[in-house]
Amino acid sequence: MTGGRLSTHVLDTARGKPAAGVRIGLYAVSAEGRRKIKEVVTNHDGRTDAPMLLGEALTVGTYELVFFAGDYLRATGQATGDTLFLDEIPIRFGVPDAGQHYHVPLLISPFAYSTYRGS
């Protein structure tokens, strides 16, 4: 079954607002390793301008979103230095039904993050 979509957004819980300008990499994961599918940057609302994958582009399998949080935290003045507590945040998840909507948001602060399957 096809017709699903993958979306994400990033919220900055320390500042209480959407996280604009966060770079996100999307990878397909298999026994052979990771294959980069695309890279996007969040808009002023902390969202991507379009779904990460849509329709037949979303297939059953394992994916990984990598949020480059360190760059964002440095740019907003919330973190400094070469070594951060949180830098690149990988979220690996499975898509068992490619006909559904998978929304994988990230809530970040300089010292914590959380995610969930949203709607």
Structure tokens at 34: 């990771």
Q: What is the pLDDT of residue 52?
A: 97
Q: What are phi and psi of 43, to 5 degrees?
A: -90, -170
Q: For the whole model, what pTM was predicted?
A: 0.94
Domain, as residue range, for 51: 5-115
Find the mean pLDDT for residues 54-75: 97
Give me the number of domains the chain comprises.
1
Contact criterion met (CB below 8 Å) for 46 and 22: yes
Q: Say which CATH number the domain at 87 has.
A: 2.60.40.180
Tell me the per-residue pLDDT of 71-108, one tens digit each, with 9 for 90 and over: 999 999 999 999 999 999 999 999 999 999 999 999 99
Contact criterion met (CB below 8 Å) for 68 and 23: yes
Q: What is the pLDDT of residue 21?
A: 98
| 109 three-class SS | strand
The pLDDT > 90 percentage for the chain reads: 95
